[in-house]
Amino acid sequence: MNQLLIALRFYATGTHQLVVGDTFSVSKATVCRTVHKVTAVIASLRSKYVTFPATRQERRDVMNMFLHSQSCLVSLVPLTVPTYQSNHQAAKTQKSTETESASFP
């Protein structure tokens, strides 16, 4: 179970193996071997769990399903984007004000 958790932690965080090793109290080499081993096992299961549409009709069905699901996701985007933009704008404005006041007393 720890091997799976180590690999999932590495995949999820994208951090260095040393950091993951510190989290689980194992060496960097152990993390490297574990991630390699778990990745190989997951990849070996791809034919069982990953399929692609074979016919034109199946591709159309998948595209329609994707487009329909996107409409649900798009409705959430306006709720999150303005918050991000306003925070970004405030940080940018504050930085430029500090620069101007430092340059022109």
| pLDDT for the residue 14 | 83
Check residue 70 and give its pLDDT.
60
DSSP category for residue 96: H
Q: What CA dihedral angle connects 16, 20, 26 and 27, to 10 degrees? A: 0
**Tokens 């409409």 sit at which residue?**
71
* Domains of the chain by residue range: 1-55+62-76
pLDDT in tens, 2-35: 999 999 999 998 889 999 999 899 999 999 999 9
Q: Over the stretch 30-55, which tens digit does the pLDDT of each residue have?
A: 999 999 999 999 999 998 988 888 99
Q: Which tokens in the block code for residue 51?
A: 């399929």
Confidence band for 81, pLDDT divided at 50, 70 and 90:
very low
Give the helix/strand (H/E) hosting 44. helix 28-44
